[in-house]
Structure 1
Amino acid sequence: MKIGELAERSGLAPSAIRFYEKAGLLPKAARGANGYRVYAETALERLQLIQIGQNLGFTLEAIRAVSLLEGAAFQDGLLHNLDARLGEIEQMMQTLRTQRESLLDTRHKLQQSWANNECLSNADLAARGPARA
């Protein structure tokens, strides 16, 4: 199929397809007698995998590394990357939980100080320790 059809079927712009090909994420297309790129059906599958990987937060480098593997190595590499990404997400979630608790604590301290007609500085907020309801 030509790049226009591949673009339409994948939902990607032809420039994105050319980028993925140049970056080594998509195998080089064959060239027809007219010089146009001609892609196999497998190119569509590869583009779909790239899109899924990006939607899951994988870098193009990680997608490239796994796409170069075959057989059991592909499966192992994919599972390894999925586990690593899950670890990254868990770390982000923990960071967000900590930030949320800090925001709730600061909000509570501010409400208490305003109720007592006090004005707290940043140092006061940090020095008072966790608020208690």
Structure 2
Amino acid sequence: MSVNYPSLHEMGIQNPEDISRYSLQNVNDVDILRVVYKRQKGSLLPHSKKFRFARSKRMVVADSGTNSTEILSEISPFLNKVIDELHQVVELKHTHQEHKAIILDEINRLEEEVHTRMTYIKSLVDKLD
């Protein structure tokens, strides 16, 4: 299977058919790719894995009249290939309803993370009294 997905293989993903979904976010000019696997109950393999990709920077002319320049950060060309391969793997597996459930699951995870972080910050404020 890795012959069909050379970029995933290069990242160390040996069984792309085990991938359930993926997400991508940008934090401080670093793209963070989270790959989620479908695992059998009791499996010792990780449920998800994160990969970090530095963004490439390039200088462009922002205003040709004043000759001012601007630095743009762009997604890595390798990461673009990886995302194309992940899209092929995942799109074949999910129906519209499954995509909806995945998005709702991501929203729930985000809400839990925000709630946990807010509770922690409030406890820090309480300690200041």
- The structure having more radius of gyration, on CA atoms, is 1
Q: TM-score, normalised by structure 2?
A: 0.40
TM-score normalised by L of structure 1: 0.39
**Structure with the higher strand share, 1 or 2:** 2
